[in-house]
Amino acid sequence: MTQDASSPTRTEPAATLVETGRVIVGDNLTVMASLEAGSCDLIYADPPFNSNRVHGSTASEGLSFDDKSPDGLKGYLADVAPRLRDMHRLLSASGSLYVHLDWRSVHHVKVLLDDIFGSENFLNEIIWSYRTGGRTGRWFARKHDTILLYARELGHHTFNTRRGGTYRTRDLKMTPDGTPYKTTRNGPVHFHREGPVHSDVWDIPFLSTVSKERTGYPTQKPEALLERIVRASSNKGDLVADFYCGSGTSLAVAARLGRRWFGCDANPDAVAIATDRLKKCGRE
């Protein structure tokens, strides 16, 4: 097992152990079928959303991927279902799956996932709220994606409580050592210095057009989003896998945070970008 980003390679069937530190070109169904059950601690899945369009970045880069299902929603669900089943098989007992979707298919995929994982293992419907995107006069502006979080086995799953942001409590004061508190009739009430526990609504900006993180790959997600996921649901040394890895955001974050990582994508351009990104990626 290595931790170095190697050159993009074609899927090699018949491998059973996950070779970490690799990004592979291939259909994820084939790639996952070659991997051993229980080998992944955290899987992040950011599949096409069934948006019925081809996602492209700037014409000069020519990068794109197809998000059109010939049979509409029915065909989309038929395509995604066996892949989600395999992700369930690949998770360790302490593992978790995050599935990143939007309003088009999330409610249908939730029903599929409840069936695969058991609804008792459903942990959160995370709302990733952002401000960019289209506006319309015909309905409320659509400004969030939904990320469904499932544990492989509730109670055995890894979960590191995360804190951040600011308290809503008014008139907070600060002790000399930086602990926020408020004064009440019964004396001071102290708050956690790192901020409130994160809720299931995440206010994280979309990547700006001039962000240094930008790789040019369409639908690239911000590292801040993935950092919250990786820190919450894995520990150092755990294996983070992404079978729709695109530009490799989850893998780059995993590498930086001292996790092992493995990814694949059907698009060779995506794998080339992810491989390059991982070569440059520093470790904290």
Ligand X SMILES: C[S@@+](CC[C@H](N)C(=O)[O-])C[C@H]1O[C@@H](n2cnc3c(N)ncnc32)[C@H](O)[C@@H]1O
**CB-CB contact of 192 with 163 (8 Å):** yes
Question: Among 267, 272, 275, 277, which residue interacts with ligand X (rule: CB under 6 A)?
Answer: 267
Q: Does 249 sit near ligand X (CB under 6 A)? A: yes
Radius of gyration in angstroms for the set of CA atoms belonging to the chain, rounded to a whole number: 20
CA-to-CA distance for 243 and 266, rounded, in angstroms? 9
Interface size with ligand X, residues (CB under 6 A):
19
Residue from 18, 22, 23, 28 touching ligand X (CB under 6 A): that is: 28
CB–CB of 24/11 below 8 Å? yes
Q: Does 262 bind ligand X (CB under 6 A)?
A: no
3-class SS at 134? Answer: coil
Q: For residue 32, state whether it binds ligand X (rule: CB under 6 A).
A: no
Q: What is the DSSP letter of 151?
A: E
**Cβ distance to ligand X smaller for residue 29 or 116:** 29
Span near ligand X by CB under 6 A; candidates 119-127, 130-138, 204-212, 242-250: 242-250
Of 121 and 244, which has the nearer Cβ to ligand X? Answer: 244
Residue type, 40: C
Judge residue 238's burial from the number of C-beta atoms within 10 Å of its C-beta, 0-12 exposed, 13-18 middle, 19 or more buried: buried
CB 128 within 8 A of CB 75: no
The answer to the question of residue 266 lying near ligand X (CB under 6 A) is yes
Nearer of residues 157 and 221 to ligand X, judged by Cβ? 221
Pick the stretch among 105-113, 127-135, 169-177, 240-248 that binds ligand X (CB under 6 A): 240-248
Side-chain-side CA neighbours of 62 within 13 Å: the count stands at: 3
List the x/- string, 203-222, binding to ligand X by CB under 6 A: --------------x-xxx-
Out of 21, 95, 246, 263, name the contact with ligand X by CB under 6 A. 246
Compare residues 94 and 105 and give the one whose CB is closer to ligand X.
105
Contact 29, 45 (CB under 8 A): no
Residues 50-79 vs ligand X: string with x where CB under 6 A?
---------------x--------------
Give the DSSP letter string of 187-234. Answer: EEEE--TT-SBP-SEEE-PPPPTT-TT--S-TTPPPHHHHHHHHHHH-
Closest by CA to 266, choosing from 101, 128, 79, is 79
Is 256 an interacting residue with respect to ligand X (CB under 6 A)? no
Which residues in this chain contact ligand X in the complex, by CB under 6 A?
27-28, 46-48, 65, 217, 219-221, 244, 246-247, 249, 264-267, 270
